[in-house]
């Protein structure tokens, strides 16, 4: 919750919402921490994707400022996309703040495309959400 509140100052999830997400039946959450210091959380990310559903949703991702620009966000996203594929999803969706160009760039480099805007989605700031979609590439087997 400390990282949640520091990252999403005005629109952080409540502790109750976070617990419901992390313990939910169809969720998949990852937490990243330095091996030598498991009490320090460098990042986390969550996916909502019921097994067998055609779609999944990236619910959240946060990386601590000291851990940014080292590939952790990309690694967390790739792990969530892999889990969505494993659960049978063909598409993954997410919302990103319109005023967060760094996150938008990351998502685009992973293959996400903008498909819409949700006006004033993030409250209380009234910031638009850009809705993005990734068509999950099917796995291919080739000879090594």
**Residue tagged active-site, from 39, 107, 122, 140:** 107
Catalytic residue among 4, 28, 44, 95: 95
Phi, psi (deg, nearest 5) at residue 35? -55, -35
Instruction: Give bridge partners of residue 114 from the DSSP assignment.
Output: 132
Question: Rounded distance, CA 25 to CA 23, Å?
Answer: 7
Please, where are the H alpha helices in the chain? 2-7, 15-23, 72-86, 101-109
Whether 107 is a known active-site residue: answer yes
Task: Respond yes or no: is residue 121 known to be catalytic.
Answer: no
Apex CA 133: angle with CA 2 and CA 19, to 5°? 30
Active site residues: 95, 107
């Amino acid at each position: 919750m400390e990282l949640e509140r520091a990252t999403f100052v005005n629109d952080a999830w409540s502790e109750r919402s976070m617990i419901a997400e992390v313990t939910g039946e169809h969720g998949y959450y990852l937490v990243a921490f330095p091996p030598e210091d498991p009490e320090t959380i460098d990042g986390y990310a969550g996916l909502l994707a019921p097994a067998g559903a055609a779609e999944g949703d990236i619910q959240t991702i946060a990386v601590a400022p000291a851990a940014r620009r080292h590939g952790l966000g990309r690694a967390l996203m790739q792990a969530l996309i892999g889990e969505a594929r494993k659960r049978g999803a063909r598409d993954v969706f997410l919302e990103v703040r319109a005023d967060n160009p760094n996150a938008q760039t990351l998502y685009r480099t992973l293959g996400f495309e903008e498909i819409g805007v949700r006006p004033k989605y993030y409250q209380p700031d009234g910031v638009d959400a850009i809705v993005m979609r990734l068509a999950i590439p099917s796995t291919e087997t080739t000879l090594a």
